[in-house]
Amino acid sequence: MKADDREAELRETVRQPGLVWCYHLTDEGDGGLQAAIPPADCSFRWIHLNLSDQRSLRWLEEEAGLPATVHAALLTRDSHQRVVVEGDTVGLVLHDFERGFDPSSIGRIGGLHIAMKPGLIITGRYRPLHSADLFRNRLEEGQRLADTPTALDFVLGVLTDSLASMVLDLSTELLEAEENLLVDDEAPDTRDLIAARRRSAQLHRMIGGTRVTLQRMERHPALPEGLAPIAQRFQPRLSALDADIVAGQNQLKLLRDELDLQAAQRTNANVYLLSILTALMMPATLVTGFFGMNTGGLPFAQGDHGTLLASGVALFSAAASWLLLRWMGLVRKQ
């Protein structure tokens, strides 16, 4: 009997999808996070899947009951942001940052795949995403979701808050770099500026694409009732975040221009100094070259103080060159 129980448990485990976590709410108001697929008679279910797991693909094919277009959008490996609507089911692909071994780090842009229908929302990813941890943390803190519109509002709210936090961090980093450069004359590391530029480009693409996707979703004629106001509500905030990113990019450009200007000024100062030194040493070089000729009748060749006199002539020629450059206005105070 125990062997039969173990075999049945093994079969059930094989049938389970590649579940990351799930949330459910019953008609009695009970629910929360759990590690197994909740029963279909729950009033609301949220299932977050690992789409790289073949069990997830099998479960979606056999038990999810999604229309063909939404099913295809959920499984596509193309992370281009989009919205599809078929019947009472909506499919979304939204951008999010992939997460590495360090949960606080962000990397490449990935896709959060979403399928929604009454009483059920399915999210999936091919690689770990930054927002999935935020979803789970807030659900563990007691956030309750009663239906699909509430879940969509929750998803968009968490994504927007996450993007706003990243935009704020980037703006703060650029302000500190600019302050250090202009006040303390401390130039930022070039690698940090390159990383900031890459991050700003990623955020601009993510925020702009999300805003356009929500606009298309709001205007879709077949969108189920209750979802359009939610899509509309987040568009102004995304527009403001996009404006902040554009302002940050302009600030980054001005910072790079200031760095280039200071580098050019240092180069000009060095070239100027070398030019003055060359002009001062040229007459003395001519003098030493002249006295270095092995010819007859060379001045100061006879006597005990020839070297001293020749050195005096070289110094006098350098001093005369300096006075001439000052008189011509070619020597300036630094």
Q: Give the Cα separation of 82 and 29 in Å (integer).
A: 33
The CATH homologous superfamily of the domain defined by 7-262: CorA soluble domain-like (3.30.460.20)
* Residue 53, Ramachandran bin (φ over 0: left; ψ between -120 and 50: alpha; else beta): beta
| pLDDT of the residue at 7 | 46
User: Considering the chain, what percentage of its residues have pLDDT values greater than 90?
Assistant: 16
User: Is the pLDDT assigned to residue 334 strictly greater than 70?
Assistant: no
User: Could you tell me which of 320, 303, 149, 162 has the C-alpha nearest to residue 230?
Assistant: 149
User: Is the pLDDT assigned to residue 130 strictly greater than 70?
Assistant: yes
First to last CA, the chain: 94
Q: Give the Cα separation of 208 and 235 in Å (integer).
A: 10
**Which pLDDT band holds residue 234 (cuts at 50, 70, 90)?**
very high
Residue where the block lists tokens 């006295």: 291
* Token pair recorded at residue 249: 């990019």
Domain range summary for the chain, segments of one domain joined by +:
7-262
User: Is the pLDDT assigned to residue 13 strictly greater than 60?
Assistant: no
Please provide the average confidence, as pLDDT, over all residues in the chain. 81
Residue 72 near residue 89 (C-beta atoms within 8 A): no
